[in-house]
Amino acid sequence: MKKKLRLRVLVAVLFTAFGVSNCFAQGDIDEQLVFLGITMTKDNGNNLDSERKWVKSGSVKYDADTRTITLDNAEIVVTAENCPKYQSESGTWYPVIGTFRFYCPTDNITVKL
């Protein structure tokens, strides 16, 4: 009787551990953070707009470890092409730190921060 109980507990613990780790692995693939029309990665986080097409002044940096965009006095021109999206597919919203101004080409663009 004790052996069956131990076996059940062991199976439950292993199932839980592998199920949770698999869930986190899938979450990394599904979540995306798009800013200025570019999917943010660790590699491109500090070189988003090298031609200064959208970031007219200031700086925009991305910390992939904390998934945080930092705007340092950034003046950004927002178009339909580069409209910021801060929400992952799981529904999580990510923080924006700093002061900035958005200049939109039309009056009907809403930016949720």
Residue range of the domain that includes 102: 32-113
Distance separating alpha carbons of residues 91 and 22, to the nearest angstrom: 19
Q: How many domains does the chain have?
A: 2
Please indicate, yes or no, whether residues 37 and 24 belong to a single structural domain of this protein: no
Decide: pTM greater than 0.85: no
Burial 33-44 (b: 16+ CB within 10 A, else e): bebbebebeeee
Please indicate, yes or no, whether residues 24 and 58 belong to a single structural domain of this protein: no
Please indicate, yes or no, whether residues 58 and 113 belong to a single structural domain of this protein: yes
Q: pLDDT of 41-86, one tens digit each? A: 777 777 777 777 777 888 777 787 877 777 777 777 766 566 555 5
Please indicate, yes or no, whether residues 2 and 22 belong to a single structural domain of this protein: yes
Please indicate, yes or no, whether residues 38 and 63 belong to a single structural domain of this protein: yes
Please indicate, yes or no, whether residues 63 and 19 belong to a single structural domain of this protein: no
